[in-house]
Amino acid sequence: MVLTNSQMEYILHLFLEEVNTHPNRRKGAATSKVNAFIALLPSKQPIDRQMSRRSTTAKKRAIARNNKIHPSKKDPEMEELEEQGIDVSNLEDEEDVHRVMNAIKQLPCPLAAKRRFRAKLLQKEIKQSSGCCGGSNTNRQNWRKFKIWKKEMSYKLEPWGSWLKNVEGHQGTGVVSYFVFLRWLFFLNLVIFILMLLFVTIPYVAFSNNGYTYVVTGSGVSGMSVASEQTCSPLYQVNVSSDAKTLIQDFLQGSGWMEKTAMFYGFYDSQDLNSFVAGHYSLPLAYLLTSLVILLFSLITMARYTMQSFRENLEDQNEKHQYCNRVFGGWDFALSEEGTAVLKHRSLYKDLAGELAEQRHHEARKNMSSNDKCRLYTIRFFINFMVICILGGSGYLIYWVTDWVTSFLADPNYKTNNDAIVVLLVEFLPSLTITALNGIVPLIFGIVVKAENYTPEFTIKITLIRTVFLRLASLAVLIATIYRIVSCTDKETTCNVGQNACDSLRCWETYVGQNFFKLIVLDFLVKVGVTLGYELPRKILTTKCDAAICKKIGLAEFDIPKNVLDIVYTQTLCWLGFFYAPLIPALATISMFVLFYLKYLSAMYNTNPPEIPYKASKSNNFFMIVLMIAFFLCCLPVGYTMVKLTPSYGCGPFRIYSYMTVCVDATISNFPSWLQTIIGIFTSGSFIIILLVLLSLIIYYTSSKSGARAKMIVMLKEQMIMEGKDKQFLLNRIYELTGEKPGAKKKDNKRPPSNGPRNGPPPSAVKTVNEVHQNGNVSKDNDIEELWA
Amino acid sequence: MKYRLEFCDVISKDNMGGGSSIFTKQELDDYQELTYFTKKEIHHVYKRFKSLAPNPEAVTKATKLSRDELYALPEIKVNPFKDRIVRVFSSSGDDSMTFEDFLDMMSVFCDHAPLAIKIEYAFRIYDFDEDDSLGREDLRKLIDRLTGEMKLGESDMEQLIQAVIEESDLDNDDGLSFAEFEHKMTKNPEFVTSFRIRM
């Protein structure tokens, strides 16, 4: 001990004096000296808590000193405001008033009191700001009014707002996050559709001239060949039958009359459109640029959405939060129905009990014998191997089916030799395979993962990751198969159509578009089917039949991860397909629109909320990341098509070019030469390299800054812990001195923790006490007076 | 907590003046400036307040709803902390709320309220014994209310309380002060999404 008893007595005496004169002394509090002393601690002051960010102790002391020097008769309200730390002494212009108003808004005070404060403030004579600042003040006020108006508008116009509230009351915030995500994707698709419509479809439909002879820009550029296109385009014929059954079949498959519509790539032409508005409107350039803009727009909106949620989710990876988060953030305040509340209680109970049991299990698991560990790891290895085999098998199945179907359809007599239903089935076979695999294999994963004995959280994560992998892999295999079919080398020379071993495709882009079209249609039908065919019967069973087994089956659960992955999958298909079938975003938009109402009905009437509490923000981050990965994977085939693949000679906007990007070259060739030089510089290799180096430097700088900040956080946390221990030590000494017994809840902490080895440099805030400890004895009273003055 | 209510009391004592059932411009401006609602939302809140009264036609701004009438609001009815919510937001401390109290409550729970004010009120709601700190007894009552009819066993409860205190108590006083609570909740993404009532 370094402070003697007499010194401590003196300190205590000083403080007790202050206790008796402090105006905020709690009435009726225990008169024990130590409790009175504790009530003085800064952390126990209600004032500092709210305004600590805004007013330092020094500032408050300055205000108090000011009041002592000029003891003017002040309103009680103004005094109270000042004690809260809001500086109302120099209110000069409207900006100050506004600042104080904002501070009042944040006070944790009843509304009536805030109104009194505000009324008093408004009564004060505030002179208008003169001179240069007056104008900007009015501007700022107008800006504020505009912001309020904007908020009102967005509140009025928020689509489906009341529906979301209903779902929130019935199912809770986890399910609502799914609907919010669905709504966001709906609007993204709507924008994509409108862009394509405005810049590609409508100009072509409005201004195209029929026939195949016309003028195109930049005819001198290498890679253009108008001649072959004139021979091949008339050869691209599509048989349209008027049979009703075939019409419907064609509608679902995207063949026949559908193939000739604006839905598919083959409809568009490579001419420069002559419109009275814009002069020459080069359709190929418009097509290419619109596609690039759509991809860029999707990327930017996704990045913004992700950054917003990352900013809110500042979780420290090293700390354990699980119990605090569950206990304090567990109850969903938005719930408003009895039945759901009961389910929520049950779910919370299971979650907490399960987590506690898991922790005990974890302790046991750490002490597992090495034999058991070896066995566990072998099991895990085998199961992972099995998962990879399943994925490989699914991939091969998709490849084989697609191949077989394409060769079946390439046979010129297939329609006459087979029944219409068989043809329909065969056309849809690749899509059916993929959808069936997407449905069944995740169930297998769910069963198999139980043997691996992971923690529940990790189990969910790894099952999700495997499912995502399956979906992306199946799409990748489909694309690879199509690529193989399209890039088959045995082609005849006039019109580049496959012959002999290769399938003859006059318009391969439309073929690709048709594949994705079928996938989207089937995806949508399956979703509708599952809702009507699986959830509805269970609901009917639960309500109509009274047997015990019916009760046991119960309502289906609203499986949020599966539903979110479904719409991510739809969006991936949309991104993959929109380049080959420009109106696929319309299909995606309609599908999401219908899905919203379908899932709303399902959430409100047919399903129960999920049993495992759904951590909305963490999972949202995960799904956003999956969406971004899917987006980048979609850019690869589309980009490759634009840059490397030869367009069909007989159809589409790029039929006269040897590569799709040649149209950009053609346009540039018409620019003035100085512009061409500038563009040349910006696209040259050295410029790109410089840009890359700059970006890498910026990334390195920001990552090292964030590393430094993380270290700072660790250090500050240690300081906070040390301060707590110091306070505890001092309190114990005081208890010793006054002879009072500490309350039952205080931990016994006799050993002064600050004398032990320290982890870092002593922070300046506790310098006074620590220096005292480390310097050994302090014998003079003067030092103490200095310490506490 | 009693500190703040005391001085606020002094000010708000004679603000219970009567008024008509529609708002004056000054009042509406005040409400818009001092809460996180727009004018439309304020009217909506007023409608809901009226719907809770036994005689909706006779409702003025000075009407006080008693505790049982407040419990009729669906979001509060099923909430395990309903008594604490009503107690914390009732400016007169007797579990009855005027319209301004009700508006205050809805404003804190709305989407636009900043995290700081939500944390402040959450701390007050969870502080059952109103001693400015979440001690073991507070945590015990909190967990009990959360699990509803099924109660955790005694050893489970002890383990859970111990875990919560270990995770968040930094100054070793066997309870959570406001600073520690705030420190934990700013990092908790679930808190902001769950501590919300949509109007």
Q: Is residue B77 part of a domain?
A: no
- Give the best residue of B102, B118, B198, B199 to mutate against chain A (max A CB count within 10 A): B198
- Give the best residue of A327, A347, A754 to mutate against chain B (max B CB count within 10 A): A327
Rounded average pLDDT over A261-274: 77
In the listed set A664, A683, A702, which residue is the last one of a domain according to the structure? A683
**A-chain residue closest to B112, CA distance:** A151
Contacts of A234 (CB under 8 A, 6+ apart): A212
* Count of residues making up chain B: 199
> What's the pLDDT at B5?
43
Strands, E assignment, A592-728: 607-608
* Count of residues making up chain A: 789
- Cα of B33 to nearest chain A Cα, Å: 7
DSSP alpha helices (H): ranges in chain B?
Answer: 2-12, 25-34, 39-52, 67-70, 74-77, 82-89, 99-109, 115-126, 136-147, 154-168, 178-185, 189-194
Per-residue model confidence as pLDDT tens digits over A455-469: 777 888 888 889 988
Nearest by CB to A109, from B4, B38, B41: name it: B4
Judged against a pLDDT cut of 50, whether residue A369 lies above it is answered with yes
A621 and A735, same domain (yes or no): no
**Contact predicate A54/A86, CB 8 Å:** yes
Q: Give me the number of domains chain A comprises.
A: 2
Q: End-to-end distance of chain B based on CA atoms, in angstroms?
A: 27
Report residue A211: phi and psi, to 5°.
100, 170
Q: Is residue A154 part of a domain?
A: no
The confidence band for A20, taking pLDDT boundaries of 50, 70 and 90, is low
Q: Is residue A87 part of a domain?
A: no
A427 and A560, same domain (yes or no): yes
Q: Using N-to-C axis directions, what is the helix angle for A161-171 and A338-366, rounded to 10°?
A: 60
Per-residue model confidence as pLDDT tens digits over A520-541: 999 899 889 888 888 888 888 8
Rounded Cα–Cα distance for residues A774 and A758 (Å): 11
Q: Is residue A78 part of a domain?
A: no
- Cα of B55 to nearest chain A Cα, Å: 23
β-sheet bridge partners, residue B176? B134
Rounded Cα–Cα distance for residues A187 and A191 (Å): 6
Q: Pick left, alpha or beta for residue A240 (phi over 0 → left; psi -120 to 50 → alpha; otherwise beta).
A: beta
Rounded Cα–Cα distance for residues A103 and A125 (Å): 19
A272 and A167, same domain (yes or no): yes
Which residues 3-22 of B are in CB contact (within 8 Å) with A? 3-5, 7-8, 10-12, 15-16
Say how many CB pairs under 8 Å bridge A and B. Answer: 258
Residue keyed to tokens 């529609």: B22
> What's the pLDDT at A293?
95
- Cα of A616 to nearest chain B Cα, Å: 7
A460 and A567, same domain (yes or no): yes
Rounded Cα–Cα distance for residues A621 and A626 (Å): 9
A305 and A379, same domain (yes or no): yes
DSSP, residue by residue, A539-601: HHHHHH--SHHHHHH-PEE--HHHHHHHHHHHHHHHHHHTTTSTTHHHHHHHHHHHHHHHHHH
Which of residues A338 and A752 earns the better pLDDT score?
Answer: A338
Instruction: Give B196's contacts in chain A (Cβ within 8 Å).
Output: 173, 333-334
Nearest by CB to B15, from A115, A340, A349: name it: A115
Q: Is residue B54 part of a domain?
A: no
Domain span at A776: 1-56+717-789
Rounded Cα–Cα distance for residues A236 and A212 (Å): 12
- Residue A294, SS3 per DSSP: helix
**Contact predicate A245/A235, CB 8 Å:** no
Secondary element (H or E) of residue A733: helix A685-738
Share above pLDDT 90 across residues of chain A, in percent, rounded to a whole number: 16
User: How crowded is residue A548: how many other Cβ atoms within 10 Å of its Cβ?
Assistant: 7
Which residues 119-138 of B are in CB contact (within 8 Å) with A? 120-122, 124, 126, 132, 135-136
The confidence band for A155, taking pLDDT boundaries of 50, 70 and 90, is low
Residue keyed to tokens 């944790």: A108
CA atoms in the 13 A half-sphere facing the CB of A525: 12
Q: Which residues of chain B have pLDDT under 50?
A: 1-21
Q: In the numeric block, which tokens belong to residue B137?
A: 């007894």
Instruction: Give A332's contacts in chain B (Cβ within 8 Å).
Output: 194
Rounded Cα–Cα distance for residues A236 and A505 (Å): 10
Domain span at B137: 119-188
Q: Is residue B179 part of a domain?
A: yes
Rounded Cα–Cα distance for residues A371 and A220 (Å): 76
**B-chain residue closest to A104, CA distance:** B34
- Cα of A769 to nearest chain B Cα, Å: 16
Contact across the interface for B80 and A337, Cβ inside 8 Å = no
Q: In the numeric block, which tokens belong to residue B6?
A: 């005391």
Contact across the interface for A76 and B11, Cβ inside 8 Å = yes
- Cα of B73 to nearest chain A Cα, Å: 8
Judged against a pLDDT cut of 80, whether residue A758 lies above it is answered with no
The confidence band for A125, taking pLDDT boundaries of 50, 70 and 90, is low
> What's the pLDDT at A318?
52
* Alpha-carbon separation of residue A561 from A278, A568, A591 (angstroms): 48, 10, 19
Per-residue model confidence as pLDDT tens digits over A350-361: 888 888 887 887
Per-residue model confidence as pLDDT tens digits over A206-239: 777 665 545 566 666 777 777 777 777 777 777 7
A525 and A396, same domain (yes or no): yes
A745 and A674, same domain (yes or no): no
Contact across the interface for A724 and B172, Cβ inside 8 Å = yes
B78: exposed, middle or buried (C-beta count within 10 Å: 0-12, 13-18, 19+)? Answer: buried
> What's the pLDDT at A295?
94
Nearest residue to A287 via CA among A664, A717, A666, A789? A664
Rounded Cα–Cα distance for residues B37 and B111 (Å): 9
Contact across the interface for B74 and A112, Cβ inside 8 Å = no
Please give the radius of gyration of chain B, using alpha carbons only, rounded to the nearest integer.
18
A224 and A287, same domain (yes or no): yes
Q: Is residue A603 part of a domain?
A: yes
| H and E: helices and strands count for chain A | 31, 4
A242 and A298, same domain (yes or no): yes
Nearest residue to A67 via CA among A80, A54, A55? A80
**A-chain residue closest to B62, CA distance:** A112
- Give the best residue of A106, A120, A328, A361 to mutate against chain B (max B CB count within 10 A): A328
Q: Is residue B100 part of a domain?
A: no
β-sheet bridge partners, residue B134? B176
> What's the pLDDT at A26?
43
A600 and A744, same domain (yes or no): no
Rounded average pLDDT over A425-443: 87
CA torsion, ordered A359, B190, B180, A63, to nearest 10 deg: 180
Contact across the interface for B198 and A165, Cβ inside 8 Å = yes
Nearest by CB to A110, from B8, B79, B188: name it: B8
Instruction: Give A618's contacts in chain B (Cβ within 8 Å).
Output: 189
Q: Provide the sign of the torsion angle of the four alpha carbons A774, A780, A783, A787, taken in this order.
A: positive
Report residue A545: phi and psi, to 5°.
-100, 145
Per-position b or e across B129-150, b if 16+ CB within 10 A of its CB:
eeebbbbeebbbebbebbbbee
Rounded Cα–Cα distance for residues A183 and A319 (Å): 34
CA torsion, ordered B182, B188, B192, B194, to nearest 10 deg: -120
- Cα of B47 to nearest chain A Cα, Å: 16
Q: Give me the number of domains chain B comprises.
A: 1
Range name among A262-276, A381-395, B46-60, B80-94 with the lowest pLDDT average: A262-276
**Contact predicate A438/A444, CB 8 Å:** no
If you ran DSSP here, which 8-state letter would residue A275 be given? Answer: E
Q: Is residue B176 part of a domain?
A: yes
- Residue A498, SS3 per DSSP: strand
* Alpha-carbon separation of residue B138 from A322, A388, B39, B63, B187 (angstroms): 19, 50, 38, 33, 21
User: How crowded is residue A334: how many other Cβ atoms within 10 Å of its Cβ?
Assistant: 22
A703: exposed, middle or buried (C-beta count within 10 Å: 0-12, 13-18, 19+)? Answer: exposed
Which of residues A28 and A127 earns the better pLDDT score?
Answer: A127
Instruction: Give B35's contacts in chain A (Cβ within 8 Å).
Output: 105, 111
Q: In the numeric block, which tokens belong to residue A7?
A: 């010194």
Q: Is residue B170 part of a domain?
A: yes
- Cα of B42 to nearest chain A Cα, Å: 11
Judged against a pLDDT cut of 60, whether residue A104 lies above it is answered with yes
Range name among A544-548, A592-596, A622-626, A662-666 with the lowest pLDDT average: A544-548
Give chain A's mean pLDDT. 76
The confidence band for A712, taking pLDDT boundaries of 50, 70 and 90, is very high
Which of residues A279 and A694 earns the better pLDDT score?
Answer: A694
> What's the pLDDT at B20?
39
Q: Is residue B199 part of a domain?
A: no
CA torsion, ordered B36, B38, B41, B45, to nearest 10 deg: 50
> What's the pLDDT at A627?
92
**Contact predicate A88/A97, CB 8 Å:** no
β-sheet bridge partners, residue A282? A272
Which of residues A72 and A418 earns the better pLDDT score?
Answer: A418
A634 and A771, same domain (yes or no): no
Q: In the numeric block, which tokens belong to residue A698?
A: 């910026």
Residue keyed to tokens 């598919």: A264
**Contact predicate A453/A376, CB 8 Å:** yes
* Alpha-carbon separation of residue B139 from A326, A364, A481, B15, B179 (angstroms): 12, 27, 60, 36, 16
Contact across the interface for B135 and A745, Cβ inside 8 Å = yes
**What's the CATH code of the domain at B138?**
1.10.238.10
A676 and A724, same domain (yes or no): no
> What's the pLDDT at B196?
87
Q: Is residue B86 part of a domain?
A: no
Rounded average pLDDT over A690-708: 96
Rounded average pLDDT over A195-208: 85
